[in-house]
């Protein structure tokens, strides 16, 4: 029985792969505006008219892109946009929240744009709130912020750890869509961290400054640090609300292997969303980040297929509570 439940060796290392994905996506968001500025310089055929700092940018981007492209003016169009909405080698992809927000703002259905959210939508049905854990560029910054909270705790400064009603984010989602419909603009993008991060990076590179969104995003970091751990994602993020709803009955989910669990509680401590893996409570909030799998000392966490979490299985069979229970039954 235990052999049948034994998790794949790969699962234990998925959290490292996740961090690599987040880092690569964030790096892409930083690099793309530089490449597109370089692309406009090339199209202008005016290298000698560029300022010295612009010439240095031109030379650096030429060195980076030369091994991969032959025609700068056209080949660099292969990747456009950001994680809100973009084009990747001709494949148009959009965040489902972008599609819903645009629909609310226009009060109409524009199918060509809606279809660009189809692949992310299907992936969410399969993997749940995976966008939040594996793709969202803000996640990288939020998790680094969590590490900063650990340093503050080590220095004797206690970060905030208040809890609120998780249903608040569904109210934020509803209000954001309502405001988008009332104003005719995708207002919800103004409070959605992935859209803000991509937009503000572009402003900084292409326009030489930050917009108001950077102030809002900084406030979310402070909220997470001083008020509630990952508070914005857990309680206020409209995208988190949408992905939680879409991924409620995801097919791939994490499961505790009760036969190998020793009830150490490390899975609960490492969970950024304050879920309760030790008692089989993952729910629709889980983003399959695999942090609980990575930290489990007895490899008692694995992936399973199913539209619902397993029912609470009781104490881990390697823990004191279970052994005491069995000894009591024996006497």
pLDDT tens for each residue of the chain, 331 residues long: 344 467 777 888 899 999 999 999 999 999 999 998 999 899 888 888 899 998 999 999 999 988 888 888 888 888 888 899 999 888 999 999 999 999 999 999 999 999 999 999 999 999 999 999 999 999 999 999 988 887 877 777 777 788 999 999 999 999 999 999 999 999 999 999 999 999 999 999 888 888 889 999 999 999 999 899 999 999 999 999 999 999 899 999 999 999 999 999 999 999 999 999 999 999 899 999 999 999 999 999 999 999 998 889 999 999 888 888 877 776 5
Assigned CATH class of 252-330: alpha beta
Annotated domain spans of the chain? 1-77, 130-245, 252-330
HEC letters along the chain: CHHHHCCCHHHHHHHHHHHHHHHHHHHHHHHHHHHHHHHHHHHHCCHHHCCHHHHHHHHHHHHHHCCCCCCHHHHHHHEEECCCEEEECCEEEECHHHHHHHHHHHCCCCHHHHHHHHHHHHHHHHHCCHHHHHCCHHHHHHHHHHHHHHHHHHCCCCCCCCCCCCCHHHHHHHHHHHHHHHHCCCHHHHHCHHHHHHHHHHHHHHHCCCCHHHHHHHHHHHHHHHCCCCHHHHHHCHHHHHHHHHCCCCCEEEEECHHHCCCCCHHHHHCCCCCEHHHCECCCCCCCCCHHHHHCCCCCEEEEECCCCCCCCCCCCCCHHHHHHHHHHHC
């Amino acid at each position: 029985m235990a052999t049948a439940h034994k998790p794949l060796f790969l699962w234990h290392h998925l959290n490292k792969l996740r961090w690599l994905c987040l880092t690569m996506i964030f790096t892409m968001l930083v690099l793309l505006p530089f490449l597109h500025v370089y692309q406009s310089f090339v199209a202008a055929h005016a290298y000698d008219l560029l300022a010295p700092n612009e010439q240095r940018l031109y030379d650096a981007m030429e060195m980076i892109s030369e091994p991969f492209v032959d025609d700068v003016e056209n080949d660099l169009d292969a990747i456009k946009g950001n994680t809100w909405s973009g084009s990747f080698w001709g494949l148009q992809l959009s965040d489902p929240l972008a599609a819903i927000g645009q629909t609310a703002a226009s009060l109409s259905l524009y199918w060509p744009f809606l279809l660009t959210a189809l692949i992310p939508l299907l992936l969410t049905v399969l993997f749940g709130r995976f966008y939040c854990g594996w793709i969202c560029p803000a996640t990288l910054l939020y998790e680094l912020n969590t590490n900063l909270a650990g340093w503050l705790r080590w220095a004797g400064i206690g970060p905030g750890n208040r809890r609120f009603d998780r249903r608040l984010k569904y109210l934020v989602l509803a209000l954001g869509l309502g405001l988008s419909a009332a104003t005719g603009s995708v207002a919800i993008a103004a409070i959605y961290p992935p859209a803000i991060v991509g937009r503000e990076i572009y402003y900084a590179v292409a326009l030489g400054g930050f917009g108001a969104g950077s102030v809002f995003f900084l406030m979310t970091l402070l909220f997470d640090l001083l008020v509630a751990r990952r508070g914005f994602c857990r309680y206020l993020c409209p995208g988190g609300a949408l992905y939680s709803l879409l991924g409620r009955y995801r097919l791939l989910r994490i499961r505790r292997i009760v036969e190998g669990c020793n009830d150490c509680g490390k899975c609960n401590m490492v969970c950024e969303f304050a879920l309760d893996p030790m008692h089989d409570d993952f729910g629709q909030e889980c983003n399959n980040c695999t942090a609980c799998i990575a930290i489990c000392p007895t490899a008692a966490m694995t992936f399973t297929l199913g539209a619902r979490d397993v029912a609470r299985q009781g104490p881990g069979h390697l823990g004191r509570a279970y052994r005491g229970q069995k000894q009591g039954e024996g006497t």
